Amino acid sequence: MEFEQSAQNNVIILKLTGDITLYDAGEIEERVNRIMAEGISRIVLDLSNVPYIDSMGIGVMITLKTRIKKMHGDLKLANTRENVKKVFIMTRLDKTFDFRNSTEEAVTAFGG
């Protein structure tokens, strides 16, 4: 898993490259936890370079969203490929997560 981090209007954008599976989920969780430890609770995950997500990856997404919500923040998903989004739909989590067509749209949705 590769990460590219940037900031825009007090929102962290974390671009992920690679599959989100059992083998990568812990690394993603650790990276986002470090961001949250800095007091940042407005995070966009850019999934444009994520071709696949498994059940462990979905589990980590749920965990991260829950933790960020407890900090009165939010986690938005941007540029999600259709096959990845279908996993969220099949697990009925498509209404739980805020999917946006671009990182710019996701940042704007935070109100900033």
DSSP structure string for 8-41:
ETTEEEEEEES-BSHHHHHHHHHHHHHHHHTT--
CATH number at residue 61: 3.30.750.24
- Which structural domain range is residue 42 located in? 2-109
Distance CA 40, CA 111 (A): 15
Per-residue pLDDT of the chain (112 residues; tens, 9 = 90+): 999 999 999 999 999 999 999 898 899 999 999 999 999 999 999 999 999 999 999 999 999 999 999 999 999 999 999 999 999 999 999 999 999 999 999 999 998 5
> What is the count of structural domains for the chain?
1
Model pLDDT, residue 111: 86
